[in-house]
Structure 1
Amino acid sequence: MSSKGTILITGASSGLGEEMARQFAALGYDLALCARRTDRLELLAKGIGAAHPDRTVALRALDVTDDTAVFRVFRELAAELGTIDRVVVNAGLGKGAPLGTGRYDANKQTAMTNFIGALAQSEAAMELFREQGHGHLVMVSSMSALRGMRKSMTTYAATKAGVASLAEGLRSERVKGVDVSVVYPGYIRSEMNEHVQQRTKFMVDTETGVRAMVEAIEKRKPKAFVPAWPWVPISVLMRTLPLSVVRKLS
């Protein structure tokens, strides 16, 4: 089977990124997978190769907070695969603590990974897309981006709001041949939230949640709240309810 195109996914060694790689491979895409943990990437590539032997999977170690490495790795992967048709800015951290409680280190690390790292990835991706004349930039945000969240979620939510704003700014620019999507996942089980109680209301398993993400990405939706139920109606409530009500959601 010929390839449907090439997709670069960061943070692909676990969670949503890992499952996106599997599902996009099943749809017929060649993959460029990046993460800090190359041993996990190698296991993933081996599994994809066994299930889909006609797919090409290129791997690179990448820490998205290393600006130089981001630009270099994106260029290397584009050269190896011939083109990068879609970039999924997925790498992220969920660390955090209430502001002023002595954990600036954790909040800063989350901000550097989730926002500055996303900025570097977006810059590197857009350089490639402008040169190619085509591309699809996908930013993975969060439902928490819709309003300010309290306590340990404050910095995380702010970074994800920043990611969504980057995407909207690029859409407004209307770069010829380039589509920009932002995906707002709700409660999807992943390595990042494995400490959260299993019975959290509306939590879905990784495969189900990622399937909703992949469907929205394939449709190149500008914005997608996933899974649509219950997160589309909840998104409306989150943007309109008083903060006194919203704080109970975090």
Structure 2
Amino acid sequence: MSKGTILITGASSGLGEEMARQFAALGYDLALCARRTERLEALRAELAAEHPGQTVAIKALDVTDDDAVFAVFKEFAAELGTIDRVIINAGLGKGAPIGTGRYDANRQTAMTNFVAALAQSEAAMEIFRAQGRGHLVMISSVSAVRGMRKTLTTYAATKAGAAALAEGLQNENVKGIDVSIIYPGYIRSEMNEQVAQKTKFMVDTRTGVKAMVAAIEKRKAKAYVPALPWVPLGLAIKHLPMSVVRRLV
């Protein structure tokens, strides 16, 4: 018997793809969406072979297309009967130092990581409010804890905005609806594979996602993952002088 239905955006690669694998292994039916449907098809085939009898529905979705976000979420809910959890995971790691002529890259990051997260939150909460229950999970980043420099400036700001959006829903405290904010540390993925070998505290995708899934399953309001080193390091980044933070991250 299924443990429930989880909708994951950005499920064709990286953290989203690995979350799909690990939640399928826990017995969940899945609603997976991303731009690259050929990757989703391959993932569905893999999961069907490993977990026969479980439902894995897939749809193409560009999360920056507002109308498509609402349509796809509603289609999944209609087809599967319910959506128990929505994981807002789709994101973009582009970015350039402010004022260096790459506003296009920074704007694209802002639209994908914040404006699209708003659309996904709206679409998910409409379903949850109608059901009277649900679990919204916002994938933020440890970079959201403090303003970051150079190529991370816009990315960190968008992830901080997404976290604040989810925190506002926690503050609203809608009956029957849980909201979790996950702050992943440096987890190897396609988004950061070019810097993976140079970044301190990097863990492999499976290990990092295992920590994410554990926090999500516990419906934690906020979680730095993996807990070590990111719980103490996150506090340090938040409160230490900026001159010290520059040496840490």
TM-score bin (small chain): over 0.9
| 2:72 aligned partner, one-letter code | V
TM-score (norm 2): 0.99
- How far off its partner does 1:231 sit? 0.3
Alignment match, 2:192? 193
**Aligned partners of 1:234, 1:54: CA distance in 2, in Å?**
42
- How far off its partner does 1:246 sit? 1.4
Q: For structure 1, list consecutive stretches of 5 or more residues without a partner in the other structure.
A: none
TM-score (norm 1): 0.98
Q: For structure 2, list consecutive stretches of 5 or more residues without a partner in the other structure.
A: none
Alignment match, 2:113? 114
SS of equivalent to 1:101: coil
Give the superposed CA RMSD.
0.8
Q: Which runs of at least 4 in structure 1 moved beyond 3 Å after TM superposition?
A: none
SS of equivalent to 2:135: strand
**Aligned partners of 2:54, 2:157: CA distance in 1, in Å?**
37
Alignment match, 1:145? 144
CA deviations on 1:62-109 (whole Å, 9 max, x unpaired) are 000000000000000000100000000000000000011000000000
- Equivalenced residues, count: 249
| 1:169 aligned partner, one-letter code | G
| 2:45 aligned partner, one-letter code | K
- How far off its partner does 1:235 sit? 1.0
Alignment match, 1:67? 66
| 2:245 aligned partner, one-letter code | V
Alignment match, 1:156? 155
SS of equivalent to 1:92: coil
- How far off its partner does 1:249 sit? 3.5
Alignment match, 1:209? 208
Alignment match, 2:234? 235
| 1:80 aligned partner, one-letter code | E
**Aligned partners of 1:130, 1:121: CA distance in 2, in Å?**
14
Alignment match, 1:58? 57
Alignment match, 2:248? 249
SS of equivalent to 2:30: strand
| 1:62 aligned partner, one-letter code | L
**Aligned partners of 1:56, 1:143: CA distance in 2, in Å?**
33
